[in-house]
């Protein structure tokens, strides 16, 4: 009888409600804003230049509370080739699998088209969505966040393509 | 030469002693089906009767001897046909001669050592069986009867909790704790995850039980990982200071005890894999080995039964 009672006491009846003692969360922690805020919008597409030098660029607005970013809010203008530059830099240095870009549109740059080619509104909107998804994926990646090129792309007014690649350390 | 139709043949049946009281256990076969066989433990006596039934009454069966073997063997699927026997006991039941009628023989392997647990994996199989052979000049009549062996352990002396702080620098710091490092097969994993720093957007968190089967030795080792269970323990994004409780019942899964270097042929180990998935489907994980062991159901009554058996057998003799 004793063994039966003994085995059931450490058996399923007690185990099924068992928990480890948890530290109590402080109210500050419970109600403070989460520390993982990072939002990047790509929008406000504008076409600059004339004739053969025409290009479209986009506004990249970033809002965050991650300490790794120099400023909590920033806005820069970038064109598609800048995204390509960023992707190449990450591909080379960061050892992460970089997501693909929305794709180059060679065909749309051929002359004698019936529409506006790469300046067609639908195309720009599609590309904007793709770029937004790309930049959010990349900027949220813990390993990419250490790369200098990402911070330059997101927050410096001008990209210095002759920069010294490297990691930035959190201060 | 039985197809010629004139030679005598026989059916062999093996009836194990106390087969009505002995428990059955299930084991998966190679093709995933489940079979039930009698269950034995290390040190138990294996005894029973061999019944030889002649198919043609009135005709004699010439033979070169009848024997019964108790065999424990390991079969590695990468070199099939090469069975490694680690236990092999032989008893002769009959000298060369003729069988004129249905005959039954009793046999007994006393206190047989069965050091390992029966196991069927993806690359290896360990099994025990009783083989009866009627030796004949051209083709032997052979009958195999499989049994299952479970190895029991007593409660481990040292069973400290697993507690560890892990993370990605400046991104995610967590502290996890599992209440033990050794669990029996019907045990409950009680634990918690405590978040120290959360700078990524976590979508959910789960615990996976991974079985790793290692076969071969040296450079020829071959690993096979299998995720046996995925168990979600958190839905949504936590913040700093939050604790997530874990209670995972192992009884619901198809587990075996941890086996280490069985006869220097193979190992089976189990890992708890804690996985956090963020909004971009990136996965952050930490694997931790746990030791699984088989607890005896009623160790006390079993010990009492054994001496009784031996007494009975002695009386018979």
The three-state secondary structure class of B94 is strand
Q: Where are the domains of chain A?
A: 27-155
Separation between Cα atoms, residue A160 and residue A149, nearest integer Å: 9
CB-CB contact of B116 with B126 (8 Å): yes
**CATH 2.60.40.640 segments of chain B:** 10-149, 162-293
Mean pLDDT calculated for residue range B120-141: 91
Mean pLDDT calculated for residue range B257-267: 93
Q: Which residues of A touch B188 (CB under 8 A)?
A: 12, 15-16, 18
Nearest to B190 among A18, A32, A38 (CB): A18
Q: What is the pLDDT of residue A61?
A: 96
Task: Find, in chain B, the residue whose alpha carbon is nearest to that of A137.
Answer: B280
Contact A18 B282 (CB under 8 A): no
Contact A22 B241 (CB under 8 A): no
Contact A35 B197 (CB under 8 A): yes
Q: What is the pLDDT of residue B154?
A: 85
Q: What is the pLDDT of residue B300?
A: 47
**B259 class by beta-carbon count within 10 Å (0-12 exposed, 13-18 middle, 19+ buried):** buried
Q: What is the pLDDT of residue B39?
A: 93
CB of A171 less than 8 A from some CB of B: no
- For residue B314, name the pLDDT band (cuts at 50, 70, 90): very low
Separation between Cα atoms, residue B263 and residue B267, nearest integer Å: 9
The nearest CA of chain B is from the CA of A150 a distance in Å of: 17
- Written as six digits, the tokens of B102 are 């249905």
The nearest CA of chain A is from the CA of B91 a distance in Å of: 40
Q: What is the pLDDT of residue A167?
A: 85
Q: Is the pLDDT of residue B216 over 90?
A: no
The nearest CA of chain B is from the CA of A29 a distance in Å of: 6
CB-CB contact of B22 with B47 (8 Å): no
Question: Which residues is B40 bridged to in the sheet?
Answer: B149
Q: Is the pLDDT of residue B146 over 80?
A: yes
Separation between Cα atoms, residue B165 and residue B176, nearest integer Å: 6
Kindly report, residue by residue over B35-86, the tens digit of the pLDDT.
Answer: 899 999 999 999 999 999 988 877 888 899 999 999 999 998 877 777 899 9
* Best residue in B240, B276, B300, B304 for a mutation probing chain A (most A CBs within 10 Å): B240
Q: What is the pLDDT of residue A112?
A: 65
**B78 class by beta-carbon count within 10 Å (0-12 exposed, 13-18 middle, 19+ buried):** exposed
Write the DSSP symbol of residue B90.
E
Kindly report, residue by residue over A143-158, the tens digit of the pLDDT.
Answer: 999 999 999 999 999 9
Q: What is the dihedral of CA B248, B251, B257, B258, to 10 degrees?
A: -20
* Best residue in A15, A32, A133 for a mutation probing chain B (most B CBs within 10 Å): A15
Residue B48, Cβ neighbours under 10 Å: how many? 21
Kindly report, residue by residue over B44-55, the tens digit of the pLDDT.
Answer: 999 999 999 988
Q: What is the pLDDT of residue A122?
A: 87
Kindly report, residue by residue over B155-205, the tens digit of the pLDDT.
Answer: 888 999 999 999 998 899 999 999 999 999 999 999 999 999 999 999 999
Separation between Cα atoms, residue B30 and residue B151, nearest integer Å: 21
Q: Is the pLDDT of residue B4 over 60?
A: no
**A109 class by beta-carbon count within 10 Å (0-12 exposed, 13-18 middle, 19+ buried):** exposed
Average pLDDT, chain A: 85
CB-CB contact of B206 with B224 (8 Å): no
- Written as six digits, the tokens of B271 are 């890992």
CB of A20 less than 8 A from some CB of B: yes
Q: What residues of chain B have any CB closer than 8 angstroms to a CB in chain A? A: 168, 170-172, 177, 179, 186-188, 190-192, 194, 197-202, 237, 239-243, 245, 247, 249, 278-280, 282, 298, 300
Kindly report, residue by residue over B101-117, the tens digit of the pLDDT.
Answer: 889 999 999 999 999 99
Average pLDDT, chain B: 88
Q: How many inter-chain contacts (A to B, CB under 8 Å) are there? A: 77
What is the CATH architecture of B162-293? Sandwich (2.60)
Contact A20 B191 (CB under 8 A): yes
Q: Residue A145 to residues A94, A167, B284: CA-CA distances in angstroms?
A: 9, 9, 16
* Percent over 90 (pLDDT), chain A: 58
The nearest CA of chain A is from the CA of B223 a distance in Å of: 26
**B79 class by beta-carbon count within 10 Å (0-12 exposed, 13-18 middle, 19+ buried):** exposed
Q: Is the pLDDT of residue B233 over 90?
A: yes
- Written as six digits, the tokens of B295 are 């607890």
Residue of A4, A150, A10 whose CA lies nearest to A68: A150
* Percent over 90 (pLDDT), chain B: 66
Separation between Cα atoms, residue B212 and residue B273, nearest integer Å: 12
CB-CB contact of A38 with A140 (8 Å): yes
CATH class assigned to B10-149 = mainly beta
Q: Which of B59-73, B253-267, B286-300 has the lowest mean pLDDT?
A: B286-300
For helices A80-93 and A121-139, give the axis angle rounded to 10 degrees.
30
CB-CB contact of A149 with A165 (8 Å): yes
* Percent over 70 (pLDDT), chain B: 91
Kindly report, residue by residue over A85-122, the tens digit of the pLDDT.
Answer: 999 999 998 889 999 999 887 777 766 666 667 788 88
Kindly report, residue by residue over A43-52, the tens digit of the pLDDT.
Answer: 999 988 887 7
The nearest CA of chain A is from the CA of B76 a distance in Å of: 37
Contact B168 A29 (CB under 8 A): no
The nearest CA of chain A is from the CA of B275 a distance in Å of: 16
Q: What is the pLDDT of residue A60?
A: 96
Q: Which residues of A touch B179 (CB under 8 A)?
A: 18, 20
Q: What is the pLDDT of residue A116?
A: 67
Contact A22 B243 (CB under 8 A): yes
More confident position, A72 or B254? A72
Q: What is the pLDDT of residue B90?
A: 95
Mean pLDDT calculated for residue range A159-166: 89
Q: Is the pLDDT of residue A13 over 90?
A: no
Task: Find, in chain A, the residue whose alpha carbon is nearest to that of B177.
Answer: A20
What is the CATH architecture of A27-155? 2-Layer Sandwich (3.30)
Separation between Cα atoms, residue B225 and residue B287, nearest integer Å: 13
Q: What is the pLDDT of residue A12?
A: 53
């Amino acid at each position: 009888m004793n063994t039966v009672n003994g085995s059931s006491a450490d058996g399923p009846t007690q185990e099924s409600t068992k928990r480890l003692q948890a530290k109590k969360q402080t109210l500050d922690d419970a109600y403070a804003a989460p520390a993982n805020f990072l939002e990047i919008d790509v929008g406000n597409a504008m076409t600059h230049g004339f004739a053969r030098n025409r290009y479209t660029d986009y506004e990249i607005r970033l809002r965050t509370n991650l300490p790794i970013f120099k400023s909590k809010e920033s806005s820069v203008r970038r064109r598609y080739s800048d995204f390509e530059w960023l992707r190449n830099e990450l591909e080379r240095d960061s050892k992460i699998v970089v997501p693909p870009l929305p794709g180059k549109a060679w065909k749309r740059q051929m002359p004698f088209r019936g529409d506006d080619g790469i300046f067609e509104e639908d195309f720009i909107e599609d590309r904007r969505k793709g770029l937004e998804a790309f930049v959010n994926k990349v900027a949220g990646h813990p390993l990419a966040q250490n790369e200098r090129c990402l911070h330059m792309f997101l927050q410096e007014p001008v990209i210095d393509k002759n920069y010294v690649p490297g990691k930035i350390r959190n201060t | 030469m039985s197809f010629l139709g004139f030679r005598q043949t026989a059916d062999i049946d093996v009836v194990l002693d106390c087969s009505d009281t002995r428990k059955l256990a299930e084991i998966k076969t190679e093709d995933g089906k489940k079979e039930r066989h009698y269950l034995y433990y290390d040190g138990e006596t294996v005894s029973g009767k061999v019944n030889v039934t002649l198919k043609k009454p009135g005709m004699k069966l010439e033979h070169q001897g009848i024997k019964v073997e108790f065999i424990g063997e390991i079969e590695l699927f990468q070199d099939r046909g090469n069975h490694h026997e680690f236990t092999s006991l032989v008893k002769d039941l009959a000298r060369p001669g003729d069988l004129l009628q249905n005959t039954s023989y009793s046999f007994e392997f006393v206190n047989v050592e069965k050091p390992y647990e029966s196991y069927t994996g993806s690359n290896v199989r360990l099994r025990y069986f009783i083989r009866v052979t009627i030796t004949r000049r051209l083709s032997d009549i052979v009958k195999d009867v499989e049994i299952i062996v479970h190895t029991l352990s007593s409660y481990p002396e040292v069973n400290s909790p697993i507690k560890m702080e892990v993370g990605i620098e400046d991104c995610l710091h967590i502290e996890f704790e599992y209440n033990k490092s050794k669990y029996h097969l019907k045990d409950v994993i009680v634990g918690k995850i405590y978040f120290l720093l959360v700078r990524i957007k976590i979508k959910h968190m789960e615990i996976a039980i991974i079985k790793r089967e290692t076969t071969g030795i040296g450079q020829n080792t071959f690993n096979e990982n299998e995720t046996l269970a995925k168990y979600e323990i958190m839905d949504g994004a936590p913040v700093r200071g939050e604790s997530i409780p874990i209670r995972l019942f192992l009884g619901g899964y198809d587990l075996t005890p941890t086996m280490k270097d069985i006869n220097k042929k193979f190992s089976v180990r189990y890992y708890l894999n804690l996985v956090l998935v963020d909004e971009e489907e990136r996965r952050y994980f930490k694997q931790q080995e746990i030791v699984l062991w088989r607890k005896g159901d009623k160790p006390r009554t079993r010990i009492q039964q054994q001496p009784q058996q031996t007494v009975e057998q002695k009386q018979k003799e």
